[in-house]
Amino acid sequence: MKHIPVLLEETVSVLALRPDSVVVDATLGGGGHARRILEELDDRGVYVGIDADPTAIEALDELHRYKATVHLINDNFSNIGKVVSDLEITPTAILADLGWRSDQFESGQKGFSFQKDEPLLMTFGDPEKHVFTAYDVVNDWSEESLADIIYGFGEERASRRIARAIVEARENGPIKSSLQLAEIIESAIPRFKGKGRIHPATKTFQAIRIAVNAELQVLHELLNQGFDLLPPNGRMAIISFHSLEDRIVKQFFNEKIQAQEALKLIKKPIVATEEERATNPRSRSAKLRVIEKLSS
């Protein structure tokens, strides 16, 4: 499946790019935003793309054909401060698209999809570099811990019932695949079967993925480090896809605005047009927020 970037033109617009801009794209992903950003830069511009998945870096070597200086870095965006320091640059714009790449879920063989029989990993980067994988969460964590993350990170009301079903199922042997886990979850909440727009395993898979990748923790790191890296008039734009992420971004931006450290550029988050929602369904939940740093 081809990855389609969301809110593409809106993002480029709010970043207010110039030909000599220094842009740090904290989520290189499929390169959709990267290509559009690079069209705005000339040979004075700098583009830095960061991604925890080495396959994303390898797949986008073509970006070096653009006029701007291009750096593609295999790292977690929570290390944005070190990346920028090592390159000895000052970013004038920072972007993060917190959504997942379509190909990671469709063909990544990491257990992100509950519609395919894949090993339970759910790591965005190299599984060997993670403290634990989805397999460890599902098979080793206590029932209480499972219920807590499913409720806290997945906002799943049936969290306790799902956690109990997982613990009971693993008593018969380890839960090894995403499809196996999805079937266990579905059996725990049968009243949802065949109803509604989302699969009953959606929220639980989201919760486990967030836990494995420490997604909310690294988002805090990105926001704090990234804002400190910006010069006066530098801009930060974040695209979030679920309420947990958006709440963190909104709170951080509001704190900076209230402290008179940043300028509020838009009254409400930018969302996808009806046309984009029709052509790219994953854009339906996307929210774009942006702030501009004020002089210190």
Identify whether 3 is part of a domain: no
Task: Say if residue 147 is exposed, middle or buried (CB neighbours under 10 Å; 0-12, 13-18, 19+).
Answer: buried
Q: Max CA-CA distance within the chain? A: 61
The pLDDT value given to residue 259: 97
CB-based contact 238:98 (threshold 8 Å) = yes
Sequence-distant (≥ 6) Cβ neighbours of residue 286 within 8 angstroms = 6, 7, 99, 239, 240, 241, 271, 272
Mean pLDDT of 27-40: 96
pLDDT tens, position by position, 84-119: 999 999 999 999 999 876 666 665 678 888 888 899
Number of compact structural domains in the chain: 2
The overall average pLDDT reported for the chain is 93
Round to whole Å and give the CA distance between 175 and 85. Answer: 43
Quick one: angle between helices 202-213 and 215-229, nearest 10?
Answer: 50
* pTM, to two decimals: 0.92
Identify whether 269 is part of a domain: yes
CB-based contact 288:238 (threshold 8 Å) = yes
Q: Which of 180, 213, 246 is the last residue of a domain?
A: 213
Least confidently predicted of 31-45, 105-119, 219-233, 270-284? 105-119
Round to whole Å and give the CA distance between 250 and 185. Answer: 32
The pLDDT value given to residue 282: 87
The pLDDT value given to residue 102: 63
User: What is the residue type of 254?
Assistant: N
- Which residues form the domain of 116? 110-213
The pLDDT value given to residue 105: 61
C-alpha distances in Å from residue 200, one per residue of 31, 90, 119, 190: 31, 45, 19, 9
The pLDDT value given to residue 192: 56
The pLDDT value given to residue 127: 77
Which residues contribute to the annotated binding site for S-adenosyl-L-methionine? 31-33, 51, 77, 97, 104
CB-based contact 40:17 (threshold 8 Å) = yes
The pLDDT value given to residue 100: 75
Q: Pseudo-torsion of CA 25, 29, 32, 34, nearest 10°?
A: 30
Which residues contribute to the annotated binding site? 31-33, 51, 77, 97, 104
Comparison of pLDDT for 197 and 279, the residue scoring more: 279
The pLDDT value given to residue 79: 98
Q: How sure is the predictor about 186, in pLDDT bands with cuts at 50, 70 and 90?
A: very high
Mean pLDDT of 221-250: 98
Mean pLDDT of 59-64: 96
The pLDDT value given to residue 195: 53
Round to whole Å and give the CA distance between 291 and 70. Answer: 25
The share of the chain scoring above pLDDT 90, in percent, equals 83
Round to whole Å and give the CA distance between 94 and 237. Answer: 6
Q: What's the CATH number where 126 sits?
A: 1.10.150.170
Tokens coding 220: 């805090």
Q: Does the structure show a pLDDT above 60 at 183?
A: yes
CB-based contact 19:41 (threshold 8 Å) = yes
Pick from 231, 286, 292, 247: which is nearest to 265 by CA?
Answer: 292
Pick from 291, 137, 103: which is nearest to 210 by CA?
Answer: 137
Q: Which of 177, 197, 213 is the last residue of a domain?
A: 213
96 and 114 part of one domain: no
3 state SS of 25: strand
Round to whole Å and give the CA distance between 101 and 260. Answer: 35
Q: How many other CB atoms are there within 10 angstroms of residue 65's CB atom?
A: 8
CB-based contact 138:115 (threshold 8 Å) = no
Strand order across the beta sheet in which 93-97 lies? 69-74, 46-51, 22-25, 93-97, 235-240, 287-293, 262-264
The pLDDT value given to residue 193: 53
The share of the chain scoring above pLDDT 70, in percent, equals 93
The pLDDT value given to residue 112: 84
Mean pLDDT of 184-212: 84
Buried b (16+ CB within 10 A) or exposed e, 114-125: bebebebbbbbb
The pLDDT value given to residue 230: 98
Q: What's the CATH number where 255 sits?
A: 3.40.50.150
126 and 253 part of one domain: no
Q: Does the structure show a pLDDT above 70 at 67?
A: yes
Mean pLDDT of 119-128: 85
Identify whether 1 is part of a domain: no
92 and 114 part of one domain: no
Mean pLDDT of 159-177: 98
190 and 271 part of one domain: no
